[in-house]
Amino acid sequence: MNQHLQKLVELSSIDKEMSSYNPKIEEANKELEISAKNFDEISNQIQKLEDSNKDLLVKISKNESYIDELGEKLEKKKVQSASLKTEKEIQSINIEIDIAKEQINFANEEIARFENYIESNAKEVETLKEQVQGIEDEFKNKEKETARILEDIEKSKAQIQTKRDKIKSDVNVKVFSFYESIRKWAGDSAIVPVKRKACYGCHLVINEQTYSAVLLSDELITCQSCGRIIYLPEE
């Protein structure tokens, strides 16, 4: 195996090691995102319940005003009924009085119903606020833990990057550029071994001519099927 190829194999190994940190970073951030999402969801529930109670208070206020209006109307009808003389007039105003009383009763029932909703919502808000406090504490702990994990990862990556830069400095510029161009689409499988005459990138058998080139040539050889750099691993 020529020197350039040997360096590329080392470089590929380091790039794989560097990429192995990506899932760890994603997992650490994912845990933090879950805590943040739970916090936001419960906070939104609390906001909806509090907004609902505001609307209910407005409805109660409107019903109370309506009751006041009906009360005034009822008093006027009672005064008016005292001056009536005919049975028909008395019967008519009594019907109006009864309707006003029913409307007052209905409005009072609505107020009681709305007050029950407000009480129920308030209890649920208190329960949710307790949950929020717990989630907020959990989030802060997750945030610290995530920061620690990411800091450790960055330190490890920095050490690996130093090794990579050292190897890169020993690789011919054109060879490195060729490797990077393949890595853009092949990722960490830009350079792969040949085993049992098969490319371990696309897993297809290479032809005899290419296999002979891998065995004998000091040049970089690519798989005729997928275009990855291939090499014969040293036993």
Residue 231 neighbours by CB under 8 Å, 6+ apart: 1, 5, 9, 191, 192, 193, 194, 214, 221
Strand partners, 93: none
Same domain for 92 and 160? Answer: yes
The H-or-E segment that residue 194 falls in is strand 191-195
CB 141 within 8 A of CB 135: no
Question: Whole domain around residue 68: which residue ranges?
Answer: 20-171
Residue 106 domain-assigned (yes or no): yes
Same domain for 57 and 104? Answer: yes
CB 46 within 8 A of CB 129: yes
Distance CA 54, CA 52 (A): 5
Say how many domains are in the chain: 2
Of 171, 195, 222, the last residue of a domain is 171
Of 171, 191, 206, the last residue of a domain is 171
Segment 19-44 shows an average pLDDT of 89
Each residue's pLDDT tens digit, 175-218: 999 999 999 999 999 999 999 999 999 999 999 999 999 988 77
Same domain for 118 and 186? Answer: no
Residue 192 domain-assigned (yes or no): yes
Distance CA 67, CA 98 (A): 14
Same domain for 191 and 152? Answer: no
Q: In terms of residues, how long is the chain?
A: 235
Same domain for 207 and 110? Answer: no
pLDDT band (50, 70, 90) for residue 1: low
What was the pLDDT predicted at 235? Answer: 63
